[in-house]
Amino acid sequence: MSIKEQLRDTIDALVQGGKGILAADESSPTIAKRFAAINTESTEENRRRYRSLVLETPDLGKFVNGVILFEETLTQVGSDGVPLPQVAMRQGIVPGIKVDKGKVPLANAPGDEITRGLDGLEERLDAYIALGARFAKWRCVYHIDHHNPGRLAVAQNANVLASYAAICQSKGVVPIVEPEVLIDGDHPIERCAEVSEQVLHEVFHALHQHRVILEAMLLKPSMITPGKAHPGQATPEQVAEWTLKVFQRVVPAAVPGINFLSGGQTPVEATENLNAINCMVKRPWNLSFSYGRALQEPALKAWMGQADRVAAAQSALYHRAKMNGLATLGAYTPDMESDAMV
């Protein structure tokens, strides 16, 4: 199979109505915080047990078609000794991998950051492919205040994202491009829209310069929302209107799918906003989700690190995945939340 055929097959698997991507790629420090909140120690075995219960959730593949894994998870096994990437594939869920190495302060740009990890990426991708990964994810972040993000941060992060995407495609790996405009701050929704448009415009300019095949990538952006400290929060309909207004201006129709990140929204809020977006006018992209905490938080609270609560955790995860699967079709209603079993 040629590289282009590999890319097309993976895109076809990841762009399906009624399904989305589970982001289970928490770094060791991040998952330690999540475990601390449920009084569970973040040992390698506890992380394996948790990720196993997630991927072994019965019928999860009905609503999830891809999972972004952390490097450690690629080599872990499920409860029956089967490697976790294969556990995912048994459900029709495509394994992916987070490949960036985290963010650091951007020199001469106070308040801005840049993501590292391009060095050795080709060799790491070879190893990840051998373990079953078919797509990858790279995240850059943009802080909003009166001065940030600066022009340098917008340009440099766009170039990093495009370099990563081009390297992935050269290996037959579909890149998920994640420019996250952070929800932190007290800015109004108009300021988020202004920054997001600037960021996305620069990202697609860089992708063009690096000759990235738009039809063989996915975009994982933030929705257009006010800062979480802003006194006037937006309704799902306002979020949908602003989000589509910005995206129609700067995201090419050639991009097959946009999988939104939840970015600090509550689980229900992220579902309501996604549903409202999919209830808007017809658009050229598949609009879905790539949620981490917004999918997993109810499951973690149900699990509490206890072996006898695995079924409860899986039920909570399945419910959240189902709600978001319906939201990708614009078919979610709040009364459906009463079906949750936690």
Mean of the per-residue pLDDT values of the chain? 96
pLDDT on residue 308: 96
CB 296 within 8 A of CB 241: no
Instruction: Describe the crossing of helices 121-130 and 151-170 by its angle, rounded to 10 degrees.
Output: 50
Asked if the model's pLDDT at residue 339 lies above 80, the reply is no
Round to whole Å and give the CA distance between 317 and 91: 15
- Residue 258 phi/psi, 5-degree rounding, is -120, 115
Alpha helices in 63-150 (DSSP H): 71-74, 84-90, 121-130
Please tell me whether residue 22 adopts helix, strand or coil conformation: strand
Tokens of 162: 């495009």
Domain boundaries, given as residue ranges, for the chain = 3-339
CATH code of 3-339, in short, is 3.20.20.70
Three-state DSSP state, 20 = strand
- The answer to whether the pTM exceeds 0.75 is yes
pLDDT in tens, 262-316: 999 999 999 999 999 999 978 899 999 999 999 999 999 999 999 999 999 999 9
Phi, psi of 252, rounded to the nearest 5 degrees: -60, 145
Grouping H, G, I as helix, E, B as strand and the rest as coil, residue 127 is helix
Single out the catalytic residue among 19, 137, 220, 322. Answer: 220
Q: What are the distances in angstroms from CA 295 to CA 97, 138, 140, 270, 303?
A: 18, 19, 21, 9, 14
Question: Are 98 and 69 a contacting pair, CB within 8 Å?
Answer: yes
Nearest to 293 by CA among 271, 309, 277, 272: 271
User: Which residue has tokens 């594939």?
Assistant: 89
Task: Provide the token pair at 280.
Answer: 């808007």
Integer angstrom CA distances of residue 110 from 4, 44, 114, 151, 196? 41, 36, 12, 12, 19
Query: What's the farthest any 2 CA atoms get from each other in the chain?
Result: 54
Handedness of CA 80, 83, 87, 90 (dihedral sign): negative
> Which pLDDT tens digit goes with each residue over 210-228?
999 999 999 999 999 999 9
Query: Does the pLDDT at position 259 exceed 90?
Result: yes
Confidence of residue 342 (pLDDT cuts 50, 70, 90): very low
Active site residue 220: yes
Q: What is the pLDDT of residues 129-154, one digit of tens each?
A: 999 999 999 999 999 998 999 999 99
Residue tagged active-site, from 26, 178, 202, 297: 178
